[in-house]
Amino acid sequence: MNNTMTTKDSSFIEQSARQRVKNVLDEGTMRELISPFDRITSPWLAKQGIVSQFDDGVVIARGTINGEQTVVAAIEGSFQGGSLGEVSGAKIAGALELAVEENENGNPMSAVLILETGGVRLQEANLGLAAIAEIQSAIVALRRYRPVVALVTGPVGCFGGMSISAALCSYIIMTREGRLGLNGPLVIEQEAGIAEYNASDRPFIWSVIGGKQRFESGLVDSYISDSQSSAREAVEQYLNQGVPEIHRSEKYSDLLEAFLRLDTQDHIAPHDAQQVLLEGVASHE
Amino acid sequence: MNNSVQTIPEMKAIHDNPSSHRGAQWFALLSHGFTKQNAIVPSVLVADGEYENRACRLIAVVPDLNNHFPRAVNGEVGLLEGMALAREVNAVVEADAHSETKRALVLIVDVPSQAYGRREETLGIHQALASAVSAYANARQNGHPIIALLVGRAMSGAYLAHGYQANRIIALSDEGVMVHAMGKAAAARVTQRTEAELDQLAAENPPMAYDLKSYASLGLIDNLLRVESATQPTPSDKHSVEQAITDALLDIQPKDTGISRRLSGEHRKASRQVRDLLKAQWTGA
């Protein structure tokens, strides 16, 4: 590996899940839980003739960030599209549940979720969905004590049930390359037609669900460039801010009224959406 | 969403006429004698009453052919539904904030899917659904007993937003009741299999299956309830369901605010193993 790859300002997006976890934790503090050496693989993929992976595509580690106890979970987008199955889902849910227990016992512990995921792994469908419900329950419990920070940098982006999980977090950090939305573009195109949503029109897709648009709509907190140092600094910054006074998921009353007043005959241009979303949320602060 | 339903005759009928009336029907039946509340949107039904002296709010999401958002007319959980659910649930939590006994929430679940559309993604449907998930998780964690009654489809993101945060899940034993992450045809496309292959795989992989018996083997249903007719409930069906709700309410203890009981299912061995191992490795050597 040459030097430019290891300097602080190399790409975060190009890093593996494990490298990303190491990058956001204080140097030398990363301790991986259920590492590939434990060989806990998906019991369902093998039965379907699909090659499994020793970490099932999720890396969990404890360590510190700015000296504060933190648990980090990262989904590996290159394994099965970052999909969550029984094992990978249980790793995230279980880690968050233990972080809740730490806080209940008076030991502050925050969480960082590095999300590259299409959502539920269809080969383990109902167990993936169940795990996501459990992850969501744990995020809501944990964020009362300490912030839960989500990082969505791409290349996969964050979709399906896990986009709802991201939206439950205390803070969301995105890059220009990241995408955040409930339904994947291809699924919408399949279900609603190409006139509704053209999945192959990349500029269009990014104009709707890309990091810049999400930031300018107030649906995420931070818009960073793709570098290891900016990812790390943004995570530190939001952990330092502590628990927000009102979580984003609670700022819906005025938005609901605004959506009811909106002309929904036609599609809503991204710029108009920014205005509606920003005004709806701003009236809470 | 589903060509998947083609193999099940009754569901085929639902597909041809995508609006299911089961939710509205069961809501009308169970809210008899309750006080109907005017929710902010016609697709969310709310009624307040009592079961065995326990104050309770019934909530359902139903089709509204005049929905302000055209891609949410068939009972899908969309932008408005997510935020309206949050509003109705949070109103109960706030009203009961200082009372010893927390009102119960009974959710009638018949949701074909989340809304798929450009308007939805542009305005951040993931965030709207997070408001609902947050409200339900928060209510449960604050001691409000929540019961989900599955009378039709409980699909994917829609079920996450309306049902999956419940303390107890009751499902009518009927072939039109289905929990899944994705319809069969769409799942076949994504996993690059034929529907016949999926059926074969599902026979050996309960999390992939579309039938309730397989789903129940995951430990995610507390009570699989026999009724004479899920679509034309008899007086005795009404009585059985009310009895099941009452039994569940009595069974939920004040400190029973989590969902870990779901982990005891026959086919959730890996979910338990992962949590045990995380716990064992949590504090380090």
User: Residue B131 falls within a domain, yes or no?
Assistant: yes
- Express each pLDDT in B255-285 by its tens digit: 999 999 999 999 999 999 999 999 999 998 5
User: Residue B19 falls within a domain, yes or no?
Assistant: yes
Q: Which residue of B has its CA nearest to A252?
A: B83
Length of chain A: 285
pLDDT tens by residue, chain A, 285 residues: 444 444 558 999 999 999 999 999 999 999 999 999 999 999 999 988 899 999 999 999 999 999 999 999 999 999 999 999 999 999 999 999 999 999 999 999 999 999 999 999 999 999 999 999 999 999 999 999 999 999 999 999 999 999 999 999 999 999 999 999 999 999 899 888 999 999 999 999 999 999 999 999 999 999 999 999 999 999 999 999 999 999 999 999 999 999 999 999 999 999 999 999 998 766 554
Helices (H) and strands (E) in chain A, counts: 11, 7
Q: Which of A165, A51, A169 is nearest to A117 (CA)?
A: A165
Q: Which residue of A has its CA nearest to B212?
A: A126
Mutation target among A126, A171, A172 for the B interface, most CBs of B within 10 A: A126
User: Residue B55 falls within a domain, yes or no?
Assistant: yes
- Express each pLDDT in B6-18 by its tens digit: 333 333 334 444 7
Cβ pair A164:B220 closer than 8 A: no
pLDDT score recorded for residue B9 = 36
> Does the beta carbon of A256 lie under 8 angstroms from any beta carbon of chain B?
yes
Task: Give the start-to-end residue ranges of the domains of chain A.
Answer: 3-245, 251-285
- Express each pLDDT in B84-93 by its tens digit: 999 999 999 9
pLDDT band at B52 (very low <50, low <70, confident <90, very high): confident
For residues B49-75, average pLDDT: 96
pLDDT score recorded for residue A8 = 53
Distance from CA of A51 to the nearest CA of B (A): 14
Distance from CA of B228 to the nearest CA of A (A): 27
CATH number for the domain spanning B104: value is 3.90.226.10
Assign B260 to helix, strand or coil: helix
Q: Which of B41, B124, B204 sits opposite A277 (nearest CB)?
A: B124
User: Residue B281 falls within a domain, yes or no?
Assistant: no
Residue B41, token pair as written in the block: 């949107």
> Does the beta carbon of B8 lie under 8 angstroms from any beta carbon of chain A?
no
Distance from CA of B26 to the nearest CA of A (A): 25
pLDDT score recorded for residue A7 = 52
In the A/B pair of chains, how many CB contacts fall below 8 A? 249
Residues 6 or more apart whose Cβ sits within 8 Å of residue B62: B21, B23, B24, B27, B43, B44, B45, B75, B110
Distance from CA of B236 to the nearest CA of A (A): 31
Residue numbers in A near B134 (CB within 8 A): 140, 168, 247, 249-250
pLDDT score recorded for residue A65 = 98
Cβ pair A124:B208 closer than 8 A: yes
Q: Which of B71, B64, B20 is nearest to B40 (CA)?
A: B64
Task: Tally the domains of chain B.
Answer: 1
- CA B44 – CA B62 distance, rounded (Å): 6
Q: Which domain holds residue B252?
A: 4-257
pLDDT score recorded for residue A281 = 64
- Express each pLDDT in B234-247 by its tens digit: 999 999 999 999 99
Assign A164 to helix, strand or coil: helix
Distance from CA of A98 to the nearest CA of B (A): 7
Cβ pair B207:A164 closer than 8 A: no
> Does the beta carbon of B1 lie under 8 angstroms from any beta carbon of chain A?
yes
User: Residue B250 falls within a domain, yes or no?
Assistant: yes
- CA A255 – CA A98 distance, rounded (Å): 34
> Does the beta carbon of B35 lie under 8 angstroms from any beta carbon of chain A?
no
- CA B244 – CA A124 distance, rounded (Å): 30
The CATH number of A3-245, from 3.50.50.60, 3.30.43.10, 3.90.226.10, 3.30.300.30, is 3.90.226.10
Range 203-222 of A in CB contact (< 8 A) with B: 208-209, 214, 217, 219
ipTM of the complex: 0.96
- CA B168 – CA A78 distance, rounded (Å): 36
Q: What is the CA radius of gyration of chain B?
A: 19
User: Residue B262 falls within a domain, yes or no?
Assistant: no
Q: Structure pTM?
A: 0.95
Q: What percent of chain B has pLDDT over 90?
A: 84
The distance in angstroms from the start CA to the end CA of chain A is 48
